[in-house]
Amino acid sequence: AANALQVRVELQADCLSGVWVNHEAKKRPGVIEPGDIDGALATASAIGDDTLQRQATGRVVPDSFTHGSAEQRKRWFMNGYQQGTLKACDTFGAASL
C-alpha cells in the first residue's frame, strides 16, 4: 500500500512538471525548443521503474514500483503538459494510473 501511495505522489510530480512546461511555453514563447518534449519523454521512459528493474535484474516486479512505469511517467507528464492545469494532475482521484 505504501508503494502505491508513493507511485501516485511521483506521477503527480511528473504531471506537475508538464503543467510547469506548459505555463513556461505560454509565458515565454520560444523557451521550449524543438525536441525538448521528446527529451522529457525519453527521460521519463529511461527512469520508469520497469525500465530500471529490467536493466538491473532482467525482470519487472510492479508491486515494488515507487515511481511508476515508463509509460505511466510519460502519460502523466503529457497530461500536465497538454492540459496545463492542476486538475489534470489528480493522481489520487484517478481510477487507474
Task: Indicate the domain borders of the chain.
Answer: 2-88
**17-74 per-position pLDDT tens digit:** 999 999 999 999 999 998 999 999 999 999 999 999 999 999 999 999 999 999 999 9
Residue 44: the pLDDT is: 94
Cβ within 8 Å of residue 64, ≥6 positions away:
3, 49, 53
**53-63 per-position pLDDT tens digit:** 999 999 999 99
